[in-house]
Amino acid sequence: MPVTTIGDQEIHVDDEGFLTEYDEWNEDLAKELASNIGIAELNDDHWKVISFLRSDYQEQGETATLRRVTAVGGIPTKELFQLFPKKPARKMSYVAGLPKPAGCI
Amino acid sequence: MKKLVILGGGTAGTMVAAKLRPRLDDDEWTITMIDHEPTHYYQPGFLFIPFGIYTPDDVVKPKADFVPAGVDYIEAEIELVEPEDNRVRLGDGTVVEYDYLVVATGTSIRPDETPGLDGPEYGKTIHDFYTLDGAKALAEALRLWEGGRLVLNIVEMPIKCPVAPLEFIFLADSYFQEKGIRDQVELTYVTPLDGAFTKPIAAKHLGSLLEDKKVNLEADFYLERVDADERKLVSYDEREIDYDLLVTIPLNMGADVIARSGLGNEMNYVPVDSGNFLSKQYDNVFAIGDAADLPTSKAGSVAHFAVEVFTENFLRHIEGLPMLLEFDGHANCFIESGHGKGLLIDFNYDTEPLPGKYPLPGIGPFTLLRETEMNHWGKMIFKWTYWNMLLRGKELPLPHEMLMAGKIDEGVR
């Protein structure tokens, strides 16, 4: 598993840069990850999504779908597209330090 | 007498009944299976109907044929589960009490959950192949179709059999070639995921399949609505895809009775321990197969391996003993890739599909993550295995846990 340094932190990531260790994530790291994908500042709405994703992952063992973030997290899908433009599912899991949504192959 | 009630007589429910009946003493336990649908469908066969490879006769048998001796079968709508009172209310007002409940009510497509999808064009220019009626209507549409833009879209994950949409597009390529009109057909695969292959090793081995078969890919497409009059898909970020014929995999959801009974999550799936299928809410309720919220594919294969783990655990749980086996999420699936070939994948919660041989290391006869004719025959023979072995609860010579033997671990996850 590749190791990379972001900010002053060493983290384990997969080939696409997604964190592979849940516990290596912290809020400072999230800010760095966000800026890597063109989100200059994380506002309260971003944090709401991120904290929902983090806690939901711990319970469910997989990253929430957009539909679940909307239905359970209460954040409208349109808003997810504004917060994490173009590819919200992929971008929000990247910033939250979780695996991207995936199929079985 | 103790009472075990199984809700649902599909793949998972029938296997549970077949496995448990010989293991539970007739003098101590009754087993009752309840389902509203008189027909058992071989659902993996729906894929072949649009292309005329299977007819409805291949995929349909009476449910009653698969009720094991000694199991009571009630054909009725399930109105409500009242887990606090350990009872189930049926559509005709009957109340069935239980000591233990196994929920195996499955998942189904919900075209009505997407604006514009479930209108007058459904069955005409918009089709599915996740129901027998849908697959039959699509067979007729394809037979008469002279070409144009065929778009296949997945509304949202998780779906039943997540490889079926890919198989459909591969078979479509093959079908139109044989018909001699492939050059007049544009095939497009539309997914909310970031690609058709999202696992790194599968992507490495199979990533070029769509390109080889000249199938367009629209990834990260999150459908907001369908404009059925203009024949286009519109995403939340205002991308549009035009079609002449849409083959859709609508949103999949668990049964409404799960929601009514307060047993489900937002998709009507029952939250369970992913290792032993025990409900997170009730100590005498299990959910198995597609009805459970397991973090893996919704597939008969998952149900098959899960039922083996469940059976041993259940027999201990009712004795007050700790459940010893932990389900690892094992599944394997044949994937038709067209032109008489197929692929095979074998994976679990933690290990993505890897190349190698299955089930015998080095021998096979099946080859993982590669197109072979043998894999195709494996898929075709599976229909017989399903009707005659799996549903009867007979042992297949396959361990329920995923094994690394025979797999080539390429060192990345």
Q: What is the pLDDT of residues B172-211, one digit of tens each?
A: 999 999 999 999 999 999 999 999 988 888 888 888 999 9
Domain with CATH 3.50.50.60 in chain B: 2-106+255-317, 111-252
What share of chain A has pLDDT > 90, as a percent?
Answer: 75
SS3 content of chain B, % helix, strand, coil (to 5): 30, 30, 45
Q: Pick the residue with more confidence: B318 or B205?
A: B318
What integer pLDDT is reported at residue A51 of this predicted model? Answer: 97
* Number of domains forming the structure of chain A: 1
Assess whether pLDDT exceeds 90 at residue A79. Answer: yes
Two tokens, residue B275: 């290792």
Which of B166-175, B283-292, B343-352 has the weakest average pLDDT? Answer: B343-352
In A24-102, which ranges are continuous DSSP H helix? 27-36, 44-60, 66-71, 77-83, 88-95
The closest CB to that of A89, out of B192, B199, B293, belongs to B192
Residue A2 touches partner B, C-beta closer than 8 Å: no
B2-106+255-317 adopts what CATH topology? Answer: FAD/NAD(P)-binding domain (3.50.50)
Is A18 domain-assigned? yes
Mutate to test the interface with A, among B249, B266, B370, B371 (most CBs of A within 10 A): B266
State the average pLDDT over residues B28-54: 97
Helix, strand, coil tally for chain A in percent (to 5): 50, 10, 40
Work out the mean pLDDT of chain A and round it to a whole number. 92
Q: What is the mean pLDDT of residues A53-68?
A: 93
In B114-267, DSSP assigns E strands to: 126-127, 148-154, 185-190, 215-218, 223-227, 232-235, 240-242, 245-249, 252-254
| Strand-strand pairing, B223-227 and B29-35 | unpaired
pLDDT of residue A10: 87
Residues B248, B222 contacting (CB under 8 angstroms): no
Catalytic residue annotation of A: 104
**Rounded CA separation B338/B336 (Å):** 6
Say how far apart CA B41 and CA B316 lie, in whole Å: 32
Structural domain for A73, as ranges: 3-95
Q: In chain B, pLDDT over 70 holds for what percent of residues?
A: 99
Class level of CATH domain B111-252: alpha beta
What average pLDDT does range A32-60 have in this prediction?
95
Task: Name the band, by pLDDT with cuts 50, 70 and 90, for residue A104.
Answer: confident
Contact B266 A68 (CB under 8 A): yes
Q: Do B222 and A14 touch (CB under 8 A)?
A: no
Nearest residue in chain B measured CA to CA from A86: B237
* Domain membership flag for residue A101: no
Tell me how close the Cα of A68 comes to any Cα of chain B, in angstroms: 7
User: According to the model, what pLDDT value does residue A4 have?
Assistant: 84
pLDDT digits (tens, 9 = 90+) for B322-354: 999 999 999 999 999 999 999 999 999 889 999
Calculate the average pLDDT of chain B: 95
User: What is the predicted pLDDT for the residue at B68?
Assistant: 96
Separation CA B209–CA B261 (nearest Å):
44
What span, in angstroms and rounded, lies between the C-alpha atoms of B18 and B392? 6
A80 Cα to chain B: minimum distance (Å): 10
A103 within domain boundaries: no
Task: Give a yes or no: residue A87 inside a domain.
Answer: yes
**Phi and psi torsions of B399, nearest 5°:** -70, 150
Q: Rounded mean pLDDT of B405-409?
A: 88
Of the candidates B342, B333, B407, the one whose C-alpha atom is nearest the C-alpha of residue B371 is B342
- Comparing A14 with B410, which gets the higher pLDDT? A14
Q: How far are the Cα atoms of B15, B200, B267, B328 from residue B273, in angstroms, in the given order?
A: 20, 28, 17, 12
Buried b (16+ CB within 10 A) or exposed e, B292-322: bbbebbbbbbbbbbbbbbbbbbbeebbeeee
Closest alpha carbon to B331 in B305, B359, B360, B292: B305
With CA atoms as reference, report the closest residue to B140 among B56, B261, B226, B201.
B56
Residue A23 lies in a domain: yes
In a domain? residue A80: yes
Contact present, B335 and B370 (Cβ < 8 Å): no
**Interchain CB distance below 8 Å, B162 and A104:** yes
Poorest-confidence range of B94-98, B134-138, B252-256, B363-367? B363-367
Q: Quick one: pLDDT at residue B413?
A: 44
* Mean pLDDT confidence for B149-162: 96
**Least confident among A100-104, B251-255, B369-373:** A100-104
How many whole angstroms from its chain centre is CA B359?
A: 22
Question: A62 — contact with chain B (CB < 8 Å)?
Answer: yes
At residue B58 the predicted structure's pLDDT band, cuts being 50, 70 and 90, is very high
Confidence class for position B395, pLDDT limits 50, 70, 90: confident
Kindly state whether residue A100 falls inside one of the protein's structural domains: no
Read off the pLDDT of each residue in B4-26 and give the average, rounded to a whole number: 97
Q: CA A75, CA B17: separation in Å to the nearest integer?
A: 42
